[in-house]
Amino acid sequence: MSTTSNAVEELDVLVIGAGFAGIYQLDRLRSLGHTVKIWEAGSKLGGIWYWNCYPGARVDTEGPIYQFSRDDLWKEWEYSELYPDWSEVREYFAYVDRKLDISRDVRYNTRVASADFDSGRNQWVVRASDGTTVRCTYLVPCLGFGSKPYIPPIRDLNAFAGACHHTALWPQEGLDMTGKRVAVIGTGASGVQVTQEAARDAAEVTVFQRTPNLAIPMRQRTLTPEDQATIKAELPERFERRGNVFAGFDFDFEPRNALDLSDEERTAGYEKLWQAGGFRFWLGVFQDTLFDEKANDYAYSFWRDKVRARIKDPATAEKLAPTQPPHPFGVKRPSLEQNYFDVFNQDNVHLVDLTETPIESFTERGIVTSDGAERAFDIIAFATGFDSVTGGLTAIDIRGADGTLLRDKWAAGVDAHLGIATAGFPNMLFVYGPQSPSGFCNGPTCAEIQGEMIVDMVDQLLRAGRKRIESTPDADRDWTDHVAQLVAPTLFPKAKSWYMGANIPGKTVQSLNYPGGLPLYREKFAEAKANGFAGFHIA
Ligand code: NA7
């Protein structure tokens, strides 16, 4: 029951963030009879799809499995394209809102500034930047892995007189690129997507690349009525499958090893995945690809030859798809592309290699590189990614039971039992937390699966009248060790990726995701639960 004391609202649970994860928490906990609200910094539902409205922003998961699996939702929903764009995903959220009446318990335009644990009352006291305060027994941050955009500290950043935006902070009203001179800094998923759009609309596009994106074919298509019927028929099974595979999609790694096959068998296997498109050439490839350098080289060589065949200028081809891999294939997230490599054949698209000529500074007109060249622009898009996984959490002044700030506790590295809780911060349970499967996982899959673990814990504790749950330092450490052991034999540590926390200068390098896959993660949680939530101290 919601009560007020001294005009401060009291809740069983405050959820932060209204993306897939937050919506799931609100709906489930509310239906179990608990008082729950979401505080959301944006003005609509959608999480990352509220913020990422840059031209070309698009889901890299096939739409049919990029939704909640509830019968009363999916049976009446259809995306028009296999890989829906941000505006259609927003329509999906509006649909979910109409069906589940989520917004009545969401406080929009409310950015959480601080959360302090009141040990006397075993409650969190949460304050928004506008001063609004709430008390809650449980705090469930659902911030996603990309809620803290990263902009590199470039000299004279503010000198530029044109429009300059991070892709995740793109103007909600849009920005017309037609006939403009556009710079794209960064070639991750966002950079690839914005480049494809800019190449079509802008007068000139200059892509500033530090590391080539080993992007793979999306194979986008409009879904016909026949497709929609097939999708509907297959969806129950696809939903079932997505909870039982490594990354929450509806396919898994090919159980054969690349190294065990003949050249012909291997190439045939790659070709099949390549033609099928999507992440299959990454998360459906031979299982030794992300572990063994030689197996990885095979995949890289196949990728390189396919891509180079599409690029006319040999020097450009060498930069976009180098003879030697810039890092092992698949240990940085490959984007899905539609015509990314082809656009570099257009006269209006230019590539600047930042490993040869790094950016020196911004000027009023544009960007100066180390060779002294100044290029003039109307629009600069920072597609430079995020302080991923932890940045959204550490941006908030979260103070635990003894007043320690979460950002101080994690300054030398994260520790979080099951990726759900961290010692000293009672009654705070993360969805998509550090060292949980968040980074590899199809969003809605983990919002439901990890989300249900948290719903289950919170519901049991509230019903039992328990006041406090906290992971133990030993359990946190054991989880960190377990994650370190899982990542050690893989090739992931060989790239400076956000998976490893290595994309942000000075950030501790460690696996921020759970590299054991969803089935093993589910097993670990079930084991802890069967043992009375082992690793948690419950009072
Ligand atoms: P990513 O994938 O983190 O990409 C960021 C890009 O920005 C990447 O190409 C970086 O190059 C580049 N970058 C970062 N800092 C700099 C500096 N200082 N100078 C030049 N270039 C820089 O972010 P996205 O937004 O594209 O995607 C994030 C996730 O969202 C994605 O994985 C999906 O899951 C959805 P680098 O590779 O580090 O050399």
CATH of the domain at 24: 3.50.50.60
Residue 441 maps to a domain:
yes
CA distance 2 to 423: 28
Residue 328 lies in a domain: no
Q: How many domains does the chain have?
A: 1
Between the CA atoms of 207, 210, 216 and 217, what dihedral angle is there, to the nearest 10 degrees? 0
Q: DSSP class of residue 507?
A: P
In a domain, 434, yes or no: yes
DSSP 188: S
C-alpha to C-alpha distance for 148 and 357, rounded to whole angstroms: 27
- Write the CA distances from 513 to 66, 197, 483, integer angstroms: 20, 31, 8
Distant-in-sequence, close-in-space partners of 460: CB < 8 Å, separation ≥ 6: none
Residues 179 and 202: beta-carbon distance below 8 Å:
yes
C-alpha 195 – ligand 1 centre gap (Å): 13
Torsions phi, psi of 456, nearest 5? Answer: -60, -45
User: Residues enclosing ligand 1, CB less than 6 A?
Assistant: 146, 152, 167, 185-191, 210-211, 333, 354, 383-386, 496, 498, 503
Residue 13 has pLDDT above 80, yes or no: yes
Q: Please indicate, yes or no, if residue 34 is contained in any of the structural domains.
A: yes
Q: Which two tokens stand for residue 392?
A: 């959204």
- Read out DSSP for 280-346? HHHHTSBTTTTT-HHHHHHHHHHHHHHHHTT-SSHHHHHHHS-SS-SS-TTSSPPPEESSHHHHTTS
Mutation to probe ligand 1, out of 165, 213, 503 (largest number of atoms < 8 A from CB): 503
Show the domain range for 414: 9-45+102-148+387-538
Q: Which tokens in the block code for residue 286? A: 């031979």
Q: Which atom of ligand 1 is nearest to the CA of 191?
A: 26
Q: State pLDDT tens for residues 351-363.
A: 999 999 999 999 9
Strand partners, 405: 399
Domain assignment present for residue 261? The answer is no
Residue 3 has pLDDT above 70, yes or no: no
Instruction: Name the residue at shortest CA distance from atom 27 of ligand 1.
Output: 189
Question: Within a domain: residue 282?
Answer: no
- Please list, in sequence order, all residues whose beta carbon lies within 8 angstroms of the beta carbon of residue 123, skipping any fewer than 6 positions away: 10, 117, 135, 136, 137, 427
User: Is residue 5 scored above 60 in pLDDT?
Assistant: no
194 in a structural domain:
no
% of residues, the chain, pLDDT over 70:
99
Look at residue 425 and give its three-state secondary structure. coil
pLDDT in tens, 505-534: 999 999 999 999 999 999 999 999 999 999
What is the reported pLDDT for 2? 47
Q: What is the pLDDT of residue 6?
A: 59
308-323 pLDDT per residue, tens: 999 999 999 999 999 9
- Find the 461 Cα to ligand 1 centroid distance in Å: 40
pTM confidence score: 0.97
Question: pLDDT confidence of 7, banded at 50, 70, 90?
Answer: confident
Indicate if ipTM > 0.95. yes
Asked if residue 155 belongs to a domain, the reply is: no
From atom 4 of ligand 1, which residue's Cα is the shortest distance away?
A: 188
Tokens of 470: 């906290």
Q: Which tens digits make up the pLDDT trace of 208-251?
A: 999 999 999 999 999 999 999 999 999 999 999 999 999 999 99
> What is the Cα–Cα distance from 189 to 192, expressed in whole angstroms?
5
